[in-house]
Chain A
Amino acid sequence: MIRLPKEGEEVPREPAPSVALVSDFPSRPTPAEERRMLLELGTTSVAWDPSEELWRVPVPPERWNAAAALALDSLHHPLSTLFGEDARSYLGKIRIHALFLGTLPSGGVHFVCAIDPDRPTLPTLSTTLPYAAPFEREVAEMFGVVFDGLEDRRPLLLHEGHPAPPLLKGPDSAPDGQRVEYPFSMVEGEGVYEVPVGPVHAGVIEPGHFRFQVVGENILDLEVRLGYNHKGTERLFEGKPSDLGTIWAESVSGDMSIAGSVAYAHAVERALELPVPPDDEILRGLLMETERMAFLCGDVAGIALDVGYPVGAAHANRLRESAYQTLQALTGSRLGRGVVGVGGLRRPVRVSATPELGGTYERLRDGIVALREELLGKSSVVDRLQGTGTIPRWIAELMHFVGPTARASGLRIDLRHDRPYGAYLGNEVRVPRGIDGDVQARLVVKIEEIVESCRLAQRFLSSVRQGVSVPGDVPAQPGTEGRSGLGWVESPRGEYLVHVTLGPGAKLERVHVRDPSFLNWPAIELAVRGNIVPDFPLCNKSLNLSYSGYDR
């Protein structure tokens, strides 16, 4: 059994790599120092946004790299998301946003760079920050922006050519039917062969293409290509009334409907400065924790099934089902769809009408604890889990992995703890961590998180009062144009971000959704190196990445 480090205990880690780690610098500059450093970027204004707890800083294109270096090296914030916005109609520019959110409690920077739509170029960040490349590839294909120095110029999500970049405003541009070239990296040498898998798989799962470079049964390299699920969700938001946006927000990753819609709702609420009744926030918290239980029980079941231990999987699935049935009883929807609304809840949550709610959570906790003993007490199970798909801490930190994946590698990052929101304000969340970063560590962290979720759910239950307001339409306020807001939620997969920009009449101008899987997908490529091919599904299941959330 792996040992979870106790509170405040130093976590042993790999020999220091040549890159600077955020955790090497636990002390941050004071707010005054931060402001001074940001002003040195030559910007016109540096504003602290108290509701989003970050600096908003416009940056000229020539200072883009310097700004990123400042955020990373001096403020010690990792890049959380990078996205484009077509602001030609109101600013005559294309804007690129880069968000650096601290993994330490609060703090962060939001850089905005306005670039010329006729010559949209920007220096790349990917030379110093490897995980910036997918963000830049997406902005490049969706907005036609050219990143100077970006090595990987393959499209990220689009599989066919488009006459016009799809996220630029204008008439919908249908794909032209021409498949784009997508060369995969190859390993050459005697006995090396390639195993292509997918996008259609033998099981019923989402589509994705995996290209393995293999010697015997050993995986030398893996490259993943996604985008098969690209639905243009971000474009679907545009022009819709902001109170209806939850419909699309909850379908970005269907298994995280509640987390997705809460993140969206928070973003709009911050943009419009809408108050939310505290009871509604508590109920959102209750629903999010119940969703987390169902999701993580599903992960445990998947891991048990993939090690070929169907008895354990059956138990975990039973627990998962009880969580889903609880959601069904509370909201009338197994996935909690259509419940969260902007400004509160769309429908009442039937807390008092659901009998034995507290007992359900209690039984779920007892069940998962018993299952933990059973799984970790079985030598044939533990043998498959230990040392499989290891992600060392420094890699997790360097690549800014989030969620249970990062925590299993020893990072203590959890937005519920670091940037508390809604129900978690004033409710301390215990963040379990692993050490080894292998499948077993991820399994244990997930089980610990279910236990913690049960505790939080009980706590929310005890503090919620009855008689919950159901919001009407968001009033069409004047002067909503150009307002923006950020919503963040610790979803079952980790840091979930939604950024909303509003147009006139509280209509959605641009919505950017950063699913945690967007950051975590490279983890599978790194985790399977040196493992054997038959262990790939296990690594995959333990990371449980969202295809739909990545592709949107």
Chain B
Amino acid sequence: MTASVPAQLVAFVGEYLLVLGLSPLLLAVLGRVKARTQGRVGPPLLQPYRDLWKLIGKDAVYSKSASWVTRYAPAISFAALLATVPLIPWFVLPSPLGTFGDLIVLVGLLALSRFITALAATDAGSTFGGMGSTREMWMGALAEPVFLLVIFAFGSPAGSTQAGAIAARGVSLGIAYASPPLLLAIVAYVLLLLVETGRLPIDNSATHLELTMVHEAMVLEYSGRDLALLEWGRGFKLAIMIGLLIALAAPWGISTSWTLALVSLAVGIVVIKLLGAHVLVSRLEAGVAKWRLFRVADLTTLAVVFAFGSLALTYVVGGGA
């Protein structure tokens, strides 16, 4: 069923409001669950919003040796992340502008965001920025091919690399969608998610030890509005990655009709799913120490194994296109 253009537009804006508006809250939930496991109370749920508001109100300071890359990188990185939102079915199918690109485009957009941030980190010539960006690009080189493989693992049964098509198949199959290949692909995706979004055991977002950081080292030179964009983008990227996981792994609840009631229900369901997934990620983080840097490769290798297993099963068991 296709909807009218105004309805599509409302849904389109709604997606952005949902993801952009909710991502700081999701980060706060994550921080709070983490604090609880450490016996602390944790910051209030609105704290990320306050931080962003504070940063947005401040001017940015630039190093004398910085070029235009430093100035524009936060905007480019954020824009690349923004462009990924319509590629993921959040609460309605077919999602507005969902056919504008497939998941390979999404991987490309995330790579662009990573590339420009890393480039900007080396721009000012500070040592930590350089160290952070070499680490980030190295992780990217490991993660991106695996990301594609994982997407193929999810996409093969549906015969498509479009998230909308994969999710639509899931919704129509119902519980029968949960198959062994899917479970393997989910494991591979979760491993990849930790690398892609810089969570423990890969990167400790709470650390202020300048020699161990990855993401924090890259944004060290930034301040004010630019820092707000980068920090927001960080939470945003986590929401996107988790949102994609939800759409691919557990699409049930996404509305296939455009009636207001069903769509609102679907919005509620996706919010609950996002919150639940963030809580799960923080529980996962609490039980593990940060790995030695070069063991990131172990994690991505493991993801490759699971993704291959999923693909192989798809073709052996059948159901592949």
Q: Which residues of A contact B (CB under 8 A)?
A: 195-197, 201-203, 217, 304, 306-315, 318, 378, 380-381, 383-384, 532-537
Contacts and interface: CB of A to CB of B under 8 A. Distances in A.
Given A195-B131, A318-B39, A533-B131, A309 B208 contact: no
Describe B's contact surface by its main secondary structure.
Answer: loop
Contacts of A381: 289
A380 B209 contact: no
A312 B39 CA distance: 11
Nearest to B205: A308
Nearest to B216: A202
B293 to A, nearest CB: 5
A307 B204 CA distance: 9
B288 interface: yes
Contacts of B127: 195-197
Across chains A and B, which 3 residue pairs bring their CB atoms closest together, nearest first? A308-B290, A314-B38, A309-B289
30 contacts: A195-B127, A196-B127, A202-B220, A203-B209, A217-B135, A304-B289, A306-B212, A309-B289, A309-B290, A310-B34, A310-B38, A310-B206, A311-B38, A311-B287, A313-B38, A314-B39, A315-B39, A318-B39, A380-B289, A380-B290, A380-B291, A383-B291, A383-B295, A384-B291, A532-B292, A532-B293, A532-B294, A533-B211, A534-B211, A534-B293
B204 A308 contact: yes
A533 B294 CA distance: 11
B201 interface: yes
Given A195-B127, A310-B38, A537-B212, A380 B201 contact: yes
B209 A537 contact: yes
A202 B293 contact: no
A340 B77 CA distance: 59
Interface string B196-237: 000011001011111110000000100000000000000000
Given A383-B291, A384-B290, 7 more contacts: A304-B289, A306-B209, A311-B38, A380-B289, A380-B290, A532-B292, A534-B211
Contact of B289 (A318, A384, A532, A536): A384
A202 B290 contact: no
Interface string B287-308: 1111111110000000000000
Contacts of A383: 289, 291-292, 295
* Best-surrounded residue of B37, B204, B295 (most CB of chain A within 10 A): B204
A535 B38 contact: no
A315 B80 CA distance: 41
* Best-surrounded residue of A378, A380, A533 (most CB of chain B within 10 A): A380
A383 B288 CA distance: 11
B286 interface: yes
B64 interface: no
Interface in B156-202: 200-201
Nearest to B37: A311
A384 B294 CA distance: 11
A217 B293 contact: yes
Contacts of B135: 217
Interface size class of B (residues with CB under 8 A): 20 to 34
Interface string B3-37: 00000000000000000000000000000001001
A373 to B, nearest CB: 15
Contacts of A308: 200-201, 204, 207, 289-290
B44 to A, nearest CB: 19
A335 B142 CA distance: 49
A315 B212 CA distance: 23
Contacts of A312: 289
Contacts of A217: 135, 293-294
A539 to B, nearest CB: 10
A202 B291 contact: no
Contacts of B288: 309, 378, 380
Contacts of A307: 289-290
Nearest to A381: B289
B292 A384 contact: yes
Contact of A197 (B208, B211, B286): B211
B9 to A, nearest CB: 44
Contacts of A536: 211-212
Contact of B210 (A197, A380, A535): A197
Contact of A314 (B40, B211, B290, B292): B40
Contacts of A315: 39
Interface in B69-94: none
Interface string B276-291: 0000000000111111
Contacts of B294: 217, 532
Interface string B37-78: 111100000000000000000000000000000000000000
Contacts of A313: 38
A380 B210 CA distance: 21
Nearest to B293: A534
Given A195-B127, A308-B207, A378 B289 contact: yes
B277 to A, nearest CB: 21
Contacts of B292: 383-384, 532, 534-535
A374 B201 CA distance: 17
Contacts of A532: 292-294
